[in-house]
Amino acid sequence: MESELFGYDTGAFTGAHQKGNPGLIRKAHHGILFLDEIGDMPFPTQARPSRALQTRSIQPLGSGEPVAVDIRVVSASNRDLAEEVRAGRFRQDLFYRIAGLAVVLPPLRERSDRRQLIEQVHARYRDPGQPARLPAAVIELLDRHPWPGNMRELVSVLQVALALAGNGPIGLEHLPAGFLAEAQVPLPVATEEVDLHGLVEQANGNLSAVARGLGISRTTLYKRLRER
């Protein structure tokens, strides 16, 4: 990670490129450097970017001379960095150097426009020959998922489903097994809120897949289908 950020001179270490590497920080000179998931940066590594922001210079690996840099840093993290500082897992000095303006994005499960986002992601990744809209039963299931992986998980689930569905509509049988296994979507008390028969139709009659997606047993699903 350090060689990628700060670069290195020729022969700085075994396996180094013969021409060296300027590093991402120098490449962003007079521009913006985006550090994604900065909260995952190892604690010992955090000292160098903190010092670089303070001194506005870096020292590439294998070089004895500092190099001046003029950058603005934008960073993102799925962790609460203030809490990470209190827990001793993130350097306080680095935190205050990057926390000038904080924008908190709510997790996908708390977004009121979740259904629209699902449809937008589907529209972005589908091929022209694939159906333009997701079946209502599938949207219902996707909307009820807790999405611990947020947008990354949503994109991954829909990419897999689109690949498996081909030119046909996406059904439950096209959703990744891991997604269905992790789904914790109990049926509401008012069962009319869920189109059970629509879900079964989308799954080509696979009651086990529907039951997994709804977080209930196959027997319970069968009973509720009979009640309908």
The boundaries of the domain holding residue 156 are 108-227
Pick the closest to residue 1 from 63, 47, 56 (CA basis): 47
Q: Is the pLDDT of residue 182 over 70?
A: no
Domain finish residue from 31, 64, 98: 98
Q: Are residues 126 and 211 in the same domain?
A: yes
Kindly state whether residue 171 falls inside one of the protein's structural domains: yes
Percentage of the chain lying above the pLDDT 90 cut: 50
Q: Beta strand 71-75 with 31-35: parallel, antiparallel or unpaired?
A: parallel
Q: Are residues 137 and 205 in the same domain?
A: yes
pLDDT band at 14 (very low <50, low <70, confident <90, very high): low
pLDDT of residue 87: 96
Averaged pLDDT score across all residues of the chain: 85
Domain finish residue from 61, 78, 98: 98
pLDDT of residue 18: 63
Q: Is the pLDDT of residue 216 over 90?
A: no
Q: How far apart are CA 154 and CA 142, in angstroms?
A: 9
pLDDT of residue 188: 44
Domain finish residue from 74, 98, 122: 98
pLDDT of residue 13: 62
Q: Are residues 165 and 217 in the same domain?
A: yes
Kindly state whether residue 58 falls inside one of the protein's structural domains: yes
Q: How far apart are CA 194 and CA 109, in angstroms?
A: 19
Return the higher-pLDDT residue of 200 and 86. 86
Q: Are residues 128 and 172 in the same domain?
A: yes
What residues does 61 pair with on adjacent strands?
A: 8
Q: Is the pLDDT of residue 186 over 50?
A: no
pLDDT of residue 190: 40
Kindly state whether residue 151 falls inside one of the protein's structural domains: yes
Kindly state whether residue 185 falls inside one of the protein's structural domains: yes
Q: Is the pLDDT of residue 203 over 70?
A: yes
Q: Are residues 162 and 92 in the same domain?
A: no
Supply the pTM of this predicted model: 0.61
Q: Where are the alpha helices (DSSP H) in the chain?
A: 2-6, 23-27, 47-55, 81-86, 92-98, 114-125, 136-144, 150-165, 177-182, 196-202, 207-214, 218-227
pLDDT of residue 194: 63
pLDDT of residue 51: 92
Q: Are residues 123 and 55 in the same domain?
A: no
3-state secondary structure of 164: helix
Report, as an integer, the average pLDDT of 41-50: 93
What tokens does 183 get?
A: 């789904």
Percentage of the chain lying above the pLDDT 70 cut: 87
Task: Report residue 81 CA to chain centroid gap.
Answer: 18
Kindly state whether residue 103 falls inside one of the protein's structural domains: no
pLDDT of residue 11: 59
CA angle centred on 200, ends 180 and 208, rounded to 5°: 45
